Amino acid sequence: MSLHAQTHRLMAPDIAAMKRVKPIVALTSYHAHTAAIADKYCDLLIVGDSLGMVMHGFETTVPVTLDMMIVHGRAVVRGARRALVVVDMPFGSYEESPSVAFRNAARVMKETDCGAVKLEGGRRMAETTRYLVDRGIPVMGHIGLTPQSINVLGGFKTQGRTRDEWPAIEADALALSDAGAFAVVLEAMSAPLAARITEQVPIPTIGIGASSHCDGQVLVMEDMLGLSPRVPKFVKKFGAVATAIEDAIRAYAEEVGARRFPGTEHTYAMKDEPRDLAAVTKKPKKLST
């Protein structure tokens, strides 16, 4: 007889049901130990292809590979116990056709055991979204600023700041909802447009730089922790991790340089000899003549 896990891991329908019920708390995560911490407070953990910039030093998310996403996705799933884990499909892994998208998304689901995947793009991804959902793969959409399209957009530019841009972006959100996406990320979008879309679509909107009108919020974890050197305007730093890390490394280097670390309490003594490290390392006295 199989044993069910004591903690229920949230699934895509659970997140969808939170719309207008409670704000959805989400963060990105790329490794097991941060996932374990965030899991205590988050409903949703997104293994974003932003890991290419945050973890690997790329200038954009475009160079990220499917294998990279799978390695990090697997780590986050191992670290989390309750939150729904969503893994980004990287550039080039889903745009060619719905069948190619399914093959790659199925691999991500099987090899990471995540609960959903995320695709960038609105109406152009509606057919693919429907294709995946019909075959058992939950899909989160992503519209507004889509970082994988940065070379077409001409940079990381806020979307929907003029009203003539609104109809196309609204149509993107509605198309993804109609295609079966369980939620949609709104990135770097004007607040009035984000509020309007949130009211229009029956699925949760997850904002990142799209105002508190959204049904939930997500930030890149390293950005909000104060670990990233440069962050977008919409990021609030909730910590000063970079400073804490530098202080710790400086103290470590000073103690190593002064031979204060490691101390006796950090070493292994012989079982039948005293732990007095000073006595062991003490130079023998010269014999008098």
Respond yes or no: is residue 199 known to be catalytic: no
| CA of residue 267 relative to chain centroid, distance | 38
Query: Who's near 81: CB < 8 A, 6+ residues apart?
Result: 5, 7, 9, 36, 39
CB 182 within 8 A of CB 167: no
* Dihedral sign, Cα of residue 31, residue 36, residue 39, residue 41: negative
Bridge partners for 84 per DSSP: 44
Task: Give backbone dihedrals phi and psi of 84, rounded to 5 degrees, phi first.
Answer: -70, 130
Q: Which of 187, 246, 255, 273 is catalytic?
A: 187
Angle at 186 between CA 44 and CA 107, to 5 degrees: 55
Q: Which of 159, 254, 183, 256 is nearest to 23 (CA)?
A: 183
Active site residues: 187
